[in-house]
Amino acid sequence: MSGLEEARPSRRESLTRAEARGADEPASEIEIPRAADTLRIQTQAMACHFAVFLDAQRREQLDSVSEVLESVHGLEALMSVYRSESPMSRANATAAKQDAVLEETLFEVVALACRIAEETDGAFDPTTGPLVELWQKARESGQVPDEGEVRRVRELGGLDDVAVDVPSRSIRYGRGGVELNLGGIGKGFALDRIGAQLLAKGVEEFLLHGGHSSVLARGGHAEHAGWPVGIRNPLFPTRRLATLLLCQQALSTSGSGIESYRIGGRRFSDILDPRTGWPVEGMLSVTVLAETAAEADALSTAFFVGGVEFARTCCDNRPGVGALLIPAPRRGQTLRPIVCGIPDEVLFFEEQSPAR
């Protein structure tokens, strides 16, 4: 069942990861946009909450929103690799032996994931499922895998072994052991689908999120041109680092200072570099703005993996894409956010100035 919550006027939304409350007001004359009263309707899917926010006076749209939001469950059933009978799981089981013809929607997201993987030179890679499993086991056992094991598992995947055929709407794997996992793009793709359905229903002003890390905004809120979305400080989760006024765009955040773990005294990120098989080092979080939530979803991972200069180049060459990167500071230094392609008029820092 979906749930409905009416926000109180004093609540300060932070929708990229979780709510941030009580952040200090900046010593600045610039007025930072804030969220006003909202209505929220949500459902549980893809191991997180999907929610739609409306202005508080839009109660007449709640039935339409609830009906559309429930469609996320059908998308999850289509894309999940954790359900053995899902179309994606069945394709993974047979594509090394024969062409696997996909349902139209599933083929669309698979083709998109493979295209972005190629465009990012593998910094985003939907074939890293075996690596993810290896490091999950390492985390549970408390033992770091050796280089040979990482290399062996990394070689199980790879886009070179995935053939996508548009005319037949099919995929084929070059060898056994290869599989596609849409976890890095699935939430964003679902947001885009839900957003399009809401617009078709006449719901033109809303904020939609999946698991707080993927966000899609349409229209304005509380007399703002867009929707204020909080960016949390990755080192101090109760503090807000910045506010983005999200206007007709999508946003996705990958990584966080609290999303890491230790094995044998070493700290590891939970985001893997598909090219090496090892957790990424040197980055705390990356937030990407793009025209679609699917693109923002995939690129936030790619930029986290590829680093600052890689992100700069991509932002320069991909229309409508911007990024806020937060590298890990050296000992004794403060955070130095790096902004690529995000206009000053929609990004408001609450604690410090960024590098550009």
Question: Distances in Å between the alpha carbon of 192 and those of 176, 217, 237, 290, 303?
Answer: 32, 10, 28, 12, 21
Tell me phi and psi for residue 323, to 5 degrees. -150, 150
116 DSSP assignment: H
Determine the pLDDT at residue 2: 37
Task: List pLDDT tens digits, range 112-148.
Answer: 999 999 999 999 999 998 898 999 999 889 999 999 9
Mean pLDDT over residues 182-187, rounded? 96
The domains of the chain, with CATH numbers, are: 82-182 (1.10.3980.10)
% the chain with pLDDT above 70? 89
Look at residue 109 and give its three-state secondary structure.
helix
Q: Residue 115: its pLDDT value, please?
A: 97
Per-residue model confidence (pLDDT) at position 162: 96
Query: Are the CB atoms for 92 and 180 separated by under 8 Å?
Result: yes
Pairwise pLDDT comparison (155 vs 92), residue with the higher score: 92
> 314: closest CA among 347, 282, 291, 341?
341
CB 33, CB 224: distance < 8 Å: yes
Q: Report whether pLDDT(286) > 70.
A: yes
DSSP string, 297-355: HHHHHHHHHH-HHHHHHHHHHSTT-EEEEEEPPPTTPPP--EEES--GGGEEESS-PPB
DSSP per residue, 187-245: HHHHHHHHHHHHHHTT--SEEEEETTTEEEEES-BTTBSSEEEEEE-SSSTTSEEEEEE
Residues in the chain, how many?
356
E-strand stretches of 7-144: 38-45, 48-55, 100-101
Structure-token pair, residue 82: 């954790």
Q: What tokens were used for 325? A: 């990167």
Does residue 262 have a pLDDT over 50?
Answer: yes
Give CA angle at 251 (246, 256), nearest 5°: 120
The Cα–Cα gap between 151 and 133 comes to: 14
Exposed/middle/buried for 10, CB within 10 Å: 0-12, 13-18, 19+?
A: exposed
Return the higher-pLDDT residue of 9 and 172. Answer: 172
Note the pLDDT of residue 29: 61
Indicate the pTM of the whole model.
0.88
CA-closest candidate to residue 289, choices 254, 324, 256: 324
pLDDT score recorded for residue 351: 64
The vertex-283 CA angle with 274 and 161, nearest 5°, equals 10
Pair 231, 244: CB distance under 8 Å: yes
Question: What CA–CA distance (Å, rounded) separates 220 from 210?
Answer: 19
C-alpha span between 271 and 324 (Å, rounded): 17
Nearest to 243 by CA among 33, 17, 55, 24: 33
| Whether the predicted pLDDT of 8 surpasses 70 | no
Mean pLDDT of 154-172: 93
Q: What average pLDDT does this structure show over 30-37?
A: 90
